[in-house]
Structure 1
Amino acid sequence: MNRLILIKYGELTTKKGNRNFFIKTLTKNIEHKLSNFDVKIKKDLSRMCIYFNDCDLKKIIDTIKDIFGIHAYHVAYITNTNIDDIASTVLELLKEKEFKTFKIETKRGDKSFSLSSPEVSKKLGGHILKNIPNINVDVHNPEVLVKVEITAKETYIYLDSYKGSGGYPVGTQPRALLMLSGGIDSPVAGYLAMKRGIKLDCVYFEAIPHTSMQAREKVIELTKKLVKYTDSINLHIVNFTPIQEEIYKTSDPNYVITIMRRMMYRIMERLAKRNKAYAIINGESIGQVASQTLVSMKAINSVTNFPVIRPVACLDKLEIIDIAKKIDTYETSILPYEDCCTVFVPKHPVINPNMYTCEELEKKFNFEEMISDAVKNTMTIKIKDIDDVNDLL
């Protein structure tokens, strides 16, 4: 029997006007991820088929489960549309199984097929009962569920179904910049943004010597964990030390975090323009810390005209942690290395910052020149795999 992996698009099929573009992007992403395997991909508007060597099946399944844009996938057997050949394939497949009850579900993509879906299921079920002893049909709770999909030219038969990552293929939306701090929330925000098709760059603000090289390594490791959902990620490392020290020297201590965030957003906007990105993404969750109240967000957002996307804004911390564990970023995120937002935290950070006060505090130093220098001296690492970054740690 000929086996293949049958992929269902799911949410892609709702985008009728852009369906071809979405499928083309998904195909490109799958081809990239499976470039080390001997596979052949065949697609149409309803499904995609991946033909493979049997020895590679487990590795291929482990790879495609992390590709966005896939609703579900199945290890399927393919035959023609002759009902007798379909029955023979189903029987051959089930003879390898041990079971007492079964059910057959049929779906006809080709409505001109001579039998209706219930008639196909009935005929196939009768053939199975005739050739395999001591089994029964159970339409409510079968031990084995056989799914049969009949198209105009081919028939797909499968038992196993796997849930895909869902969402849209990465690259169906333009680039956006993620503020990657090294904490729990921002990698989750990046993951959720990519799930909506966004091509991601990451920006890390470091404050050496106040932050360590281990903190940078931690952020690189988090980026490497995110890159498995795409082909590559540019990590932009900004030296924030001069700006941070000047803020700490000139600002009201309670406003330090607010002013720092306003400076970061200014830098993010310039980096976004330079890298042709269309939005800023961060891991802010409403009310979680002082800089994440709605009043604080308004005061901080006011310095940029770029849209700011907050994928985890309305999630509880435990919900965010659950996703972080699922995507394998949690254990890295909790490593005890401080980022630039934690080294100068005041005892009583303002939670309802006054816009006028922010602007007056910023007049105390020449931040425009410092921002220009920070952007100019930003270091960029293109992360594809471990070998790309070993020499940069």
Structure 2
Amino acid sequence: METLLLVNLFHELALKGGNRPFFLKRAKAHVKRALKGLRAQLEAAWPMALLFHLPEEAWPEAKERLQDTLGVEGFARVLRTPPDLKALEAALERVLEGERFLSFRITAKRSDKTFPLTSPELERLLGAFVKERTGARVQLKGAEREFVVRILPHAALLEVERHPGPGGLPPGVSGKVVALLSGGIDSPVAAYRLMRRGAEVVLVHFHPFPLLSGQSREKAKAIAERLARFQHRLTLHLVPFSEVQREIILKAPKAYRVVLYRRYMLRIAEAIAKEEGALALCTGDSLGQVASQTLENLHVVNQAATLPVFRPLIGFDKVEIKAQAERIGTYPISILPDEECCILFAPKHPVTRAQLSVVLEAESRLDAEALIALALEDREVVRYTWPGQKTLPEASERPPIMGHGPLNG
């Protein structure tokens, strides 16, 4: 059987007005990269769809990849026939072999208006054919099986099986964002949600090595490798945070440690954002989920950044976040044990309504410039590419330290 793959791009792209060609160009390029290495050959392209010829043995892998390809509304394995009724009936006969269903519908889409039958006429004739062969009833709503037929100039396409894509926008059309990646369930989901809105996400992970083992770093790398499936090229900055924590522990009130950790994380992430050309930061905070995520604490933490801080999960509960993590495949990694920075030396009773004046007084005793420079100097940068999930040759580069925003706000 000839294997053809029809990829429908997300309908949201049709709403982009004068910018639509830019979005569609990026979406089509993203789909082509997703199929890299599978010998998929582009045979036809329409404003919102692509048709590929695919080797039979590549279909299972192509299906798995496209289910993670942002900007794809859905995709189908299709049969190509001449554009006439008898050829479509013969193709349907092949598809019906071995299939059992009680209800079905035929959906015809006629883009070639010279075809002698209208869409409703074609649906009735093919529906009668399927009913005669299977005994199943026609059911327009909630049918167990749907057959989609597309009439094109010089050809017809019959869907053999259809699968949903993730939707969303292709990566990079909405600019660049730096996302803080912890070892927990929430932050990978927050990063994914921004990817799905077309942002190119750069990840920053703060780890306690060498104060503790390198377990946290390895976990962050595994999460980054999984998230690379959605963006195809992804950069992870691994930042040692133990020296910053040591100074905070020595010179700041115990109850304020976690708030101060998070303020310094935003400052360091903002310095990286300016290197990367990113215009915003992202965290996995959910309002009221833990002590550090009260509205008062989030307000005080925000004052350390000059860039916008996005919190895609702010109104989500843990059940919703877990379900999303399971869908995108990060949950099994996130629940592995590790040693998070914010848990290290965390007070038994952290402040839940932090006061900015107390925070600023504590930070006046810290050498912010030196601590940020130290963390940036000793970081590791890993760059992932997908398909392949291999780090790029420049993975071990250490980018230069560049200027960052104000340190006293």
What TM-score results when the alignment is normalised by the length of structure 2?
A: 0.88
Task: Tell me which of 45, 54, 68 is aligned to 1:66.
Answer: 68
Q: Distance in 2 between matches of 1:142 and 1:366?
A: 67
* Shift in CA distance, 94/235, structure 1 to aligned 2, threshold 3 Å: same
Matching of residue 179 in structure 1 with residue 183 in structure 2: no
CA contact (8 A) 2:2 2:56 kept: no
* Shift in CA distance, 255/372, structure 1 to aligned 2, threshold 3 Å: same
Amino acid at match of 2:363: E
Cα shift at 1:265: 0.9
* Shift in CA distance, 27/82, structure 1 to aligned 2, threshold 3 Å: same
Q: Distance in 1 between matches of 2:19 and 2:80?
A: 29
Q: 2:315 matched to which residue of 1? A: 314
SS of the equivalent of 2:344 reads coil
Cα shift at 1:127: 4.3
Cα shift at 1:98: 4.4
SS of the equivalent of 1:243 reads helix
Q: 1:228 matched to which residue of 2? A: 229
CA contact (8 A) 2:215 2:339 kept: no
Q: Distance in 2 between matches of 1:178 and 1:142?
A: 43
Q: Distance in 2 between matches of 1:2 and 1:227?
A: 31
Matching of residue 8 in structure 1 with residue 41 in structure 2: no
Q: 2:402 matched to which residue of 1? A: none
* Shift in CA distance, 76/358, structure 1 to aligned 2, threshold 3 Å: same
Structure 1, 332-341 or 243-252: larger mean CA deviation:
332-341
* Shift in CA distance, 211/179, structure 1 to aligned 2, threshold 3 Å: farther
Q: 2:106 matched to which residue of 1? A: 104
Cα shift at 1:111: 4.3
Amino acid at match of 1:209: P
Q: 1:35 matched to which residue of 2? A: 36
Cα shift at 1:95: 4.6
Matching of residue 219 in structure 1 with residue 213 in structure 2: no
Q: Equivalences for 1:144-293 in 2 at 5 Å? A: 144-293=145-294
SS of the equivalent of 2:391 reads helix
Structure 1, 353-362 or 320-329: larger mean CA deviation:
320-329
Q: Distance in 2 between matches of 1:96 and 1:340?
A: 56
What TM-score results when the alignment is normalised by the length of structure 1?
A: 0.91
Q: 1:124 matched to which residue of 2? A: 126
CA offsets per residue over residues 293-324 of structure 1, 9 Å max, x none? 11111111112221111111111111111122
SS of the equivalent of 2:358 reads helix
Q: Distance in 1 between matches of 2:135 and 2:275?
A: 66
CA contact (8 A) 2:286 2:311 kept: yes
SS of the equivalent of 1:234 reads strand
Q: Distance in 1 between matches of 2:195 and 2:136?
A: 46
Q: Which runs of 5+ in 1 are unaligned?
A: none
Matching of residue 388 in structure 1 with residue 391 in structure 2: yes
Q: Distance in 1 between matches of 2:362 and 2:77?
A: 62
Instruction: Compute the RMSD of aligned alpha carbons.
Output: 2.4
Structure 1, 102-111 or 182-191: larger mean CA deviation:
102-111
CA contact (8 A) 1:210 1:343 kept: no
Q: Distance in 1 between matches of 2:304 and 2:128?
A: 70
CA offsets per residue over residues 268-295 of structure 1, 9 Å max, x none? 1111001111211111111111221111
* Shift in CA distance, 305/110, structure 1 to aligned 2, threshold 3 Å: farther
Q: Which runs of 5+ in 2 are unaligned?
A: 397-409
CA contact (8 A) 2:131 2:138 kept: no
Cα shift at 1:200: 1.6
SS of the equivalent of 2:235 reads strand
Q: 1:357 matched to which residue of 2? A: 358
Identical columns (%): 31
Q: Distance in 2 between matches of 1:200 and 1:310?
A: 14
Amino acid at match of 1:285: S
Q: Distance in 1 between matches of 2:143 and 2:371?
A: 68
CA offsets per residue over residues 32-52 of structure 1, 9 Å max, x none? 222211111232112111210
* Shift in CA distance, 185/127, structure 1 to aligned 2, threshold 3 Å: closer
Q: Distance in 1 between matches of 2:70 and 2:341?
A: 32
Cα shift at 1:235: 1.0
Cα shift at 1:123: 2.3
Q: Distance in 2 between matches of 1:73 and 1:274?
A: 38
CA contact (8 A) 2:9 2:27 kept: no
Q: Distance in 2 between matches of 1:318 and 1:99?
A: 35
Cα shift at 1:183: 1.0
CA contact (8 A) 1:145 1:159 kept: no
Q: Distance in 2 between matches of 1:90 and 1:376?
A: 64
Q: Distance in 1 between matches of 2:374 and 2:349?
A: 31
* Shift in CA distance, 321/98, structure 1 to aligned 2, threshold 3 Å: closer
Q: Distance in 2 between matches of 1:45 and 1:22?
A: 11
Cα shift at 1:151: 3.2
Cα shift at 1:16: 3.0
